[in-house]
Amino acid sequence: MSVLATAAPAVEQAVDSYTLTTGRLLSLVGTVSGLAGLVIGGLALARSRRAGARPGKRGAMVALVAGLACLVIGGVVVAAADGGPGTGYGIVGGFVDLVVGLIATVLSGLALARSRRATSPADRIHHERVLG
């Protein structure tokens, strides 16, 4: 009998839905980071659209970092998962992290582009001429 025949096959065991495993915890941390990036990026984008308001460059940078952190955490969770949904590896949360992180990154990128456009030298010269 060969060694392969005597080895017990690896069986994926489902973990209880309420068990907080390492993969689930990591994907939860990524989701919280991504949601914070979504909110902050949305607020920075809304601030950059208002006329006369200070551009939300700092908020957009914070949202960019939070969104990228969410993307990285989601990628790590998905890459490290050995099983599918219900196995406790947090793969569903990892995919949620990838989507939320991507949206937060895009929002923050839009807010950064608007804040750079609003504070360009040509705009400053134009505002100085108009406002005196």
Which two three-digit tokens encode residue 47?
């601030």
Cα–Cα–Cα angle for 40, 46, 51, rounded to 5 degrees = 140
DSSP string computed for 76-124: HHHHH--S-TTSSS-HHHHHHHHHHHHHHHHHHHHHHHHHHHHTSHHHH
**Which range is least confidently modeled, 2-16, 38-52, 58-72, 73-87?**
2-16
Q: What is the pLDDT of residues 82-120, one digit of tens each?
A: 888 888 888 999 999 999 999 999 999 998 888 776 555
The confidence score (pLDDT) of residue 99 equals: 96
d(CA 132, CA 123): 14
The confidence score (pLDDT) of residue 120 equals: 55
Q: What is the pLDDT of residues 5-22, one digit of tens each?
A: 455 455 556 677 788 888
**Pick from 113, 110, 38, 114: nearest CA to 69:** 38
